[in-house]
A = this chain, B = another copy of it.
Amino acid sequence: MDVMAHSTFEAGRCILGKLPHGKDLLRAVEDFCVQNSIQTGVFSVIGSVKSVTLGSCDQNQQVYVTWKKEEQLEIVNCAGNVSLRDGKVAVHAHAMLADINGQTIGGHIFSETIVFAGEIYLQELLGKPLEREYDHITGLPLWKI
């Protein structure tokens, strides 16, 4: 059995927040973490957006293919985490969205993704922060653990 690389934390603050209307989702989470000295955490968002930028990792080319959708969509779920990259707060999140007919799209979420309304649950994690670094196998900025 391979051992999964991991890091153990203690639970910090449990936060419920209201994402700001008309602002970028990732930026709002990132700014909040910077302002509140949160370096590590996990979060979940439900709500809706005015537009979204999603992407998918092209595993062969090792690049993200992104696209933007200018449409009102429900955030059926957005799951993400907070860690550090080059010493700065980095938010990584994936989201699943549904249109007015319930049809769904999903992927890695990018800026700009404009919030209509959003409710976030953020669990702060206390301990040695995780740093992201370039991973040569996947081409992704993965945790150095």
Chain A residues near B (Cβ < 8 Å): 1-11, 13-21, 23, 28-29, 31-32, 34-35, 40, 42, 44, 46, 48, 50, 54, 56-60, 65, 67, 72, 74-77, 79-81, 83, 92-108, 116-117, 119-121, 123, 125, 130, 135, 137-138, 140, 142-143, 145
Q: Give the secondary structure class of A's interface.
A: strand
Report yes or no: A76 in contact with B48, Cβ–Cβ below 8 A: no
Residues of B within 8 A of A34 (CB): 1
Question: Copy number in this complex?
Answer: 3
Which of A14, A23, A123 has its CB near the most chain B CB atoms (within 10 A)?
A: A14
Q: Which of B8, B20, B28, B80 contacts A15 (CB 8 A)?
A: B8
Report yes or no: B77 in contact with A96, Cβ–Cβ below 8 A: yes
A46-B80, A98-B107 known; 5 other A-B pairs, CB under 8 Å?
A16-B143, A46-B93, A67-B102, A74-B94, A98-B106
Which of A4, A13, A97, A130 has its CB near the most chain B CB atoms (within 10 A)?
A: A4
Report yes or no: B6 in contact with A142, Cβ–Cβ below 8 A: no
24 contacts between A and B (CB under 8 A): A4-B17, A4-B32, A5-B17, A6-B18, A9-B14, A10-B14, A11-B11, A14-B125, A16-B42, A16-B81, A16-B125, A21-B138, A48-B57, A54-B98, A57-B72, A57-B74, A57-B116, A58-B72, A59-B116, A74-B106, A77-B77, A77-B79, A98-B105, A102-B105
